[in-house]
Structure 1
Amino acid sequence: MQLFYNPSLDNSAKQFVFPPDESKHIARVLRKSEGDIVHITNGKGYLFEAEILEPDQKRCKAHIISQSKSIPRRYKLRMVVAPTKMNDRYEWFLEKATEIGVDEITPIICDHSERKTIKLERMERVLQSAMKQSLQTFLPRINPPISGQEFLESDNSVGLKFIAHCQKGEKMELKRKVIADNDVTILIGPEGDFSKKEIDMAKEKGYIPVSLGRNRLRTETAAIVACTTVAIINN
């Protein structure tokens, strides 16, 4: 199944006109004809089945013939992850986290972060592509970057809250602390790890230090291990 994405679709839609880039893809690459069926999601849980009326390369028109609403997960996973030094590694994390299952991502700029800026629009496109590729109907939300201190000061997340760091101290394995059907927020630091000040502040805000295993992991690997752990506990 080929899945398309358009956030403007709602459950009252009867017809839909694809934008020029997708119209060209449908007509020239997929070679769809009048009467063929395509599927569209609005990223909010709805899946629309549409019949092509006019397979025009610039303005492909389709008629919505059915719709269904996906059941959301019983829990919310919020990943708060520092940008990696190399952009492609963070994009890899976004792609795989979307495939595994994540609801919200917040890039945090930490005391030891080497990268201070990110291209939010590009990351949005990565999330959209991963959602479509994995045939999901809920698009993860990515927030604008924020400093670690600002995030913690304004944090009002509920549910289980964890911080994964490399410094010595009492830590339990994440897989032993996650409880099924509970919302989870996980903090993952940069290549240079969180500073002691950031760790102490997170603990004051109720974040529990956890371990992701015996090996030292890259930021993006740690984030994927965390996502996978939560997904396994909830399956």
Structure 2
Amino acid sequence: MAIFYQLKVTDGANFLSEEESRHCVKVLRLRPNDPITVVDGKGGYYQSVIQETNPKRCAFNVINHYQQPALPYSINLLIAPTKNLDRMEWLVEKLTEIGINSIQFIECDYSERRVLKLERLQRKAVSAMKQSGRALLPTLFEMQPLTSEQINFPENTQIFIAHIDENHRQPLSHLAKIHKSYLVLIGPEGGFSPREIAWATEQKFQMASLGDYRLRTETAGLTACQTLHTINHLQ
């Protein structure tokens, strides 16, 4: 069954956005009374039927509504985007598919990318959500300097930095407690500066290893997210 995204869905008459309407009518060639599923990005699934196939304002009626069960933990990522934007688009797609609550982009001392537009990344996330059959859309935050006061720290969260030194080589899978809120900090390809390591230490980030080998930025982000899912699902 075709899945469409609409942020606000009511119990009465509803309309798909122009982009979704065009895809429904022009690409999929759906007709009145065809069944569809609409997701709101907040965990809601709406089993619906098409009422009017207007390619700019496709109308549908909701038949049934149910909510995606909430997990007993949340995963949030702080990450420095790569110079090649394709790699960040890939990461946003994969993180949305496996499930993540938020992605906040950061500018570090050694960052190669200083500007990031979220519009395309947001579209990639929506597409991945629909293709994977999920109803939860991760929150994407605008890029901020790592040490900025605008960095979002969820309450009661275990915070980790993907960095190791001679005295800190504990793997993330050993440090993370189950059923918690997590925030993982992933640096740029050049790593963190001494100033940033000092800041993270002051903020009580725990240094965590993601394996025995050096990972690319996008690989590290995906590995951290999947590691946290795995330790919770094994309990």
The two structures share one fold, judged by TM-score above 0.5? yes
Contact 2:164 2:208 (C-alpha < 8 Å) held by counterparts: no
Q: Residue 214 of structure 2 is aligned with which of 202, 213, 216?
A: 216
Query: Residue 2 of structure 2 corresponds to which residue in structure 1?
Result: 2
Task: State whether structure 2 residue 106 is matched by structure 1 residue 108.
Answer: yes
Task: Give the Cα–Cα distance (whole angstroms) in 1 for the partners of residues 124 and 165 of structure 2.
Answer: 32
Query: Residue 94 of structure 1 corresponds to which residue in structure 2?
Result: 92
Query: Residue 26 of structure 2 corresponds to which residue in structure 1?
Result: 28
Contact 1:78 1:103 (C-alpha < 8 Å) held by counterparts: yes
Q: Tell me which amino acid in the other structure corresponds to 1:144.
A: E
SS at match of 1:143: strand
Task: Give the Cα–Cα distance (whole angstroms) in 2 for the partners of residues 29 and 204 of structure 1.
Answer: 53
Question: Structure 1, unaligned stretches of length 5 or more?
Answer: none
Deviation track 1:142-178 (CA, whole Å, cap 9, x = no partner) reads 1111101115877464321110025554220111111
Q: Residue 52 of structure 1 is aligned with which of 27, 50, 56?
A: 50
The percentage of counterpart residues that share the same residue type is 37
Q: Tell me which amino acid in the other structure corresponds to 1:15.
A: A
Count residues with an aligned counterpart.
233
Q: Which moved more, 1:160-169 or 1:107-116?
A: 160-169
Contact 1:152 1:205 (C-alpha < 8 Å) held by counterparts: no
Contact 2:91 2:221 (C-alpha < 8 Å) held by counterparts: yes
Q: Which moved more, 1:17-26 or 1:222-231?
A: 17-26
Task: Give the Cα–Cα distance (whole angstroms) in 1 for the partners of residues 62 and 104 of structure 2.
Answer: 34
Q: Which consecutive aligned stretches of 4+ in structure 1 deviate over 6 angstroms post-superposition?
A: none
Q: Which moved more, 1:145-154 or 1:65-74?
A: 145-154
Q: Residue 137 of structure 1 is aligned with which of 118, 135, 138?
A: 135
SS at match of 2:105: strand
Contact 2:76 2:182 (C-alpha < 8 Å) held by counterparts: yes
Contact 1:108 1:151 (C-alpha < 8 Å) held by counterparts: no
Contact 1:103 1:141 (C-alpha < 8 Å) held by counterparts: yes
SS at match of 1:172: coil
Q: Tell me which amino acid in the other structure corresponds to 2:4.
A: F
Query: Residue 232 of structure 2 corresponds to which residue in structure 1?
Result: 234
Structure-1-length-normalised TM-score: 0.93
Cα distance change of structure 1 residues 151 and 123 upon mapping to structure 2, 3 Å threshold? farther
Contact 1:84 1:219 (C-alpha < 8 Å) held by counterparts: yes
SS at match of 1:72: coil
Query: Residue 170 of structure 1 corresponds to which residue in structure 2?
Result: 168
Contact 2:15 2:57 (C-alpha < 8 Å) held by counterparts: yes
SS at match of 2:147: helix
SS at match of 1:149: coil
Cα distance change of structure 1 residues 65 and 195 upon mapping to structure 2, 3 Å threshold? same
Q: Which moved more, 1:154-163 or 1:49-58?
A: 154-163
Q: Tell me which amino acid in the other structure corresponds to 1:103.
A: N
Task: Give the Cα–Cα distance (whole angstroms) in 2 for the partners of residues 159 and 216 of structure 1.
Answer: 26
Q: Tell me which amino acid in the other structure corresponds to 1:74.
A: P
Cα distance change of structure 1 residues 155 and 67 upon mapping to structure 2, 3 Å threshold? closer
